[in-house]
Homo-oligomer: A and B are copies of this chain.
Amino acid sequence: MSFNSFGQMFRVTTWGESHGPAIGAVVDGCPPGVTLSEADIQPWLDRRRPGQSRFTTQRREADAVEILSGTYEGRTTGTPIQLMIRNTDQRSKDYSEIAESFRPGHADITYWQKYGLRDPRGGGRSSARETAARVAAGGVARKVLAALLPQLEITGCMVAMGPHGIDRARFDAAEIARNPFFCPDAQAAAQWAEELDALRKAGDSVGAVIEVTARGVPPGLGAPIYGKLDADLAAAMMSINAVKGVEIGAGMAAAALSGTENADEIRMGPGGPEYLSNQAGGILGGISTGQEVVVRFAVKPTSSILTPRRTVTRTGDETDIVTKGRHDPCVGIRAVPVGEAMMACVLLDHLLRHRAQVGEGPRGRIG
């Protein structure tokens, strides 16, 4: 509670609209004593920043984060951290058309129906711009996690664009940073570039599947029954704009498996139990197993396209609409750093909740 907050102990509240003066996030419950400055957060925002390739929106936002509270002499004090990002490239264009007509696939119509008014400038609150605030909050979470779980690594990548998935045999984590798609398969990335160029020229867009993995999560995070780690991850990812599906481990494909295929067998390794597979995606009964936590989510194609679409106006007239503007032809690309940020926030929240209930001392050991 309420509507614009997530997390229980590490609690993030975001605010702001696409074309207002600024957007931001208040991070409450952050552990004290962690070194933190804008320089720790900015790199994550830069990864999400628009205009870095021809495959994302050409809006030019510096996305420079300012810390307005919650630190002293470069360390967190345990009090709320206000992260503010000024909007600098809100073009004073004419929004009268989308103020009157509802863009198919957008939240225009539902905001209108719910609230009886809406801010049409760039989508207002429903703009993907809000995700910058999440990424900033995720930057704080990552800094705290680096102190509390130094071995933790969170990595997001795009594993499908439209109908074209990567070849898992070519998965190369180092490749992710080398192409504009956060794609771990160089060959797929090259192919996607061609595809996306064609789609852009055709005034169309395309969806994507994002995968976020967390390596080094200790066993024991998450809790029955409605505080399950996977349930919170599902909500976190589904709350990202344009996401229509979330999977943990084998995900939807688990339905097609038999019990013998699905249950990950266990052997003893040098450091404790080891699993012979990871269909579970690192979570059993809502609690982390110590394996990689694996989440995938589907991002629908950008609804703002140059192809005319049938719609209605506020007065109930039928019309066609073409959404001009500087839009991402594949909004999934920039969802990669957003998914990582959500993973970081959820894991930290559960780490704090775990030590609230169970403490930091020894728990159940095996062997």
List residues of A (294-324) whose CB comes within 8 Å of B's CBs: 296, 298-305, 307, 309-312, 314-318
Residue A180, interface by CB 8 Å? no
- Copies of this chain, tallied across the complex: 4
Smallest beta-carbon distance A215→chain B, Å: 17
Given contacts A207-B254, A276-B310, A303-B259, contact A79 B244 (CB under 8 A): no
Is A298's CB under 8 angstroms from B31's CB? Answer: no
Tell me the complex Cα distance, A205–B257, Å: 9
Is A17's CB under 8 angstroms from B205's CB? Answer: no
Tell me the complex Cα distance, A309–B251, Å: 22
List residues of A (240-264) whose CB comes within 8 Å of B's CBs: 241, 244-264
What would be 17 A-B contacts, judged by CB atoms less than 8 Å apart?
Answer: A3-B223, A8-B8, A15-B80, A31-B359, A72-B117, A109-B289, A110-B219, A110-B285, A110-B288, A113-B219, A206-B257, A231-B238, A239-B286, A250-B300, A260-B305, A355-B356, A355-B360
Given contacts A115-B32, A115-B364, contact A312 B273 (CB under 8 A): yes
Is A106's CB under 8 angstroms from B244's CB? Answer: no
Residue A199, interface by CB 8 Å? yes
Residue of B nearest to A287 (CB): B110
Residue of B nearest to A113 (CB): B219
Residue A265, interface by CB 8 Å? yes
Taking a contact as CB atoms closer than 8 A, the residue among B31, B238, B316 that contacts A234 in the complex is B238
Q: A24-B82, A77-B124, A352-B357 are in contact. List 18 more A-B contacts (CB 8 A).
A: A2-B9, A2-B28, A5-B13, A15-B68, A17-B72, A20-B68, A69-B125, A77-B115, A106-B263, A113-B290, A114-B223, A209-B255, A244-B280, A253-B298, A263-B301, A265-B309, A266-B311, A267-B312
